[in-house]
């Protein structure tokens, strides 16, 4: 379980913003690397776009798993993984209605 448990709803789209180490190092491109569950199922990279000159952003649809995990990389192969802890949210599907 995460130290500070954040919850978001399944099928919700969230905007992820980043202005961390890679930005401070002058990255030309930043990618959101994300996956679902502790195994990082369906892992993929999403190209982020620059917003406000110092912040990169990307939209992420939460359509899988009980947890989404993510970190960031630049086009030079440098990573920011929050000192090995990554970032993430619990995906809550308790409000979905099945017929």
Domain containing 25 equals: 7-92
Residue 98 has pLDDT above 50, yes or no: no
In whole angstroms, give the CA distance from residue 18 to residue 89. 15
**Is residue 97 situated within a structural domain?**
no
Mean pLDDT of 56-81: 89
Residue 4 has pLDDT above 80, yes or no: no
Long-range contacts formed by 40-49: CB under 8 A, 24+ apart:
40/69, 41/65, 45/73, 48/16, 48/18, 48/72
Q: What is the pTM of this model?
A: 0.79
CATH of the domain at 65: 2.60.40.10
**Is residue 11 situated within a structural domain?**
yes
> Could you read off the pLDDT of 26-55 as tens digits, one per residue?
999 999 999 988 889 889 999 999 987 889
Number of structural domains (the chain) is: 1
């Amino acid at each position: 379980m995460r130290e500070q448990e954040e919850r978001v709803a399944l099928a919700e789209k969230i905007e992820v913003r980043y202005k961390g180490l890679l930005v401070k190092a002058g990255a030309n491109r930043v990618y959101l690397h994300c996956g679902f569950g502790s195994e990082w199922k369906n892992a993929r990279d999403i190209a982020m776009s620059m917003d406000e000159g110092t912040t990169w952003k990307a939209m992420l649809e939460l359509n899988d798993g009980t947890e989404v995990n993510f970190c960031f990389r630049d086009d030079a192969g440098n990573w920011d993984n929050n000192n090995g802890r990554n970032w993430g949210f619990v995906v809550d599907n308790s409000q979905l209605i099945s017929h």
